[in-house]
Amino acid sequence: MNEVFIVTDSSVRFQPSWRPNPKQVIYATASVRFGDTLIEDTPTTDMAGVRALFEGSRHAPVFLPPSIEQLERIYRELLPRTDKIISVHTSSRLSRASANATAASQQFLGRCDIQVVDSESISTGLGLLVQAASEAAAEGTDFDEIVRIVRGMIPRMYMVSFLDDLTYLERNGLVSRSQAVLGNMMGVIAFLTLEEGKLIPMEKVRSRPRALEKLTEFVSEFSVLEHLSILESSSTPSEEAYGLAERLELLHPETPISISCYGPCLATLVGTNSLGVVALESAEAVE
């Protein structure tokens, strides 16, 4: 049984030009709860269909990771077909998915080599890791080498985004209620960076044009990039996203740039009107 399978959170997002092999990439359900209402976040979930819940529900959205029981079931179903699984999940600082996968994998010690990887990322950052694992497996790469490739990408993955509703920062314990209320009254736009899998508030600006400039400045700090992914809440790329892509292309003309729609799970952290960039630095640039 040499076939390698990849298990990941259903909240993963891929660059539009890449399609995962459904026989190789298996999704564990991640979802968002609003009181008694539960919505599943899949790679194709459109924020347009759930935006009303985020903006109108009296219940704050709660990010629910795949459960231990669900992951156990997935591993058990794969057991007759493989003894090699790489299970790549959303940052452990943002979700219990990795911890649940580790707990589930303990049931299969000695029967299956399940390598659980904390991506320290989310959404398209997670997607780039899954894509790398899938492509390496398709080329017949040794399992241990696939795991090494994926783990080696994690320190080279960066994410920064801005949001214009500081309520989400308050809900996630990143600012106080008074700071969120005052910031929203003043029209403050806050920046978040993902460092070692943890969301960290950065500086604040007062307009979206200035926020776009700051995103561009962030990307300009890299010398060589393997991929750039622009994340927004619209399934149809906005003029704002296209404009940012044009700026980034001037900085990195050789780098593939994609525009993707993030889903409900990420929206619990950054809101429904965020714009962000995921940057994968070249391995050569950090050697």
The CATH number of residue 217's host domain is 3.30.1180.10
pLDDT, residue 184, reads 82
Q: Do 113 and 244 belong to one domain? A: no
**Which residue range is the domain that position 199 belongs to?**
156-286
Per-residue pLDDT of the chain (287 residues; tens, 9 = 90+): 579 999 999 999 999 999 999 999 999 999 999 999 999 999 999 998 899 999 888 999 999 999 999 999 999 999 999 999 999 999 999 999 999 999 999 999 999 999 999 999 999 999 999 999 999 999 999 999 999 999 999 999 999 999 998 898 898 888 888 888 888 888 889 999 999 999 998 888 888 999 999 999 999 999 999 999 999 998 899 999 999 999 999 999 999 999 999 999 999 999 999 999 999 999 876 65
Model confidence pLDDT, tens digit, residues 202-239:
888 888 999 999 999 999 999 999 999 999 998 899 99
Q: Which of 133, 155, 177 is the last residue of a domain?
A: 155
Proportion of the chain in helix, strand, coil states, percent, rounded to 5: 40, 25, 35
pTM: 0.95
Q: Which of 155, 181, 204 is the last residue of a domain?
A: 155
User: Between 208-220 and 239-251, two packed helices, what is the crossing angle to 10 degrees?
Assistant: 30
The tally of domains found in the chain comes to 2
Q: Do 198 and 144 belong to one domain? A: no
Q: Do 161 and 125 belong to one domain? A: no
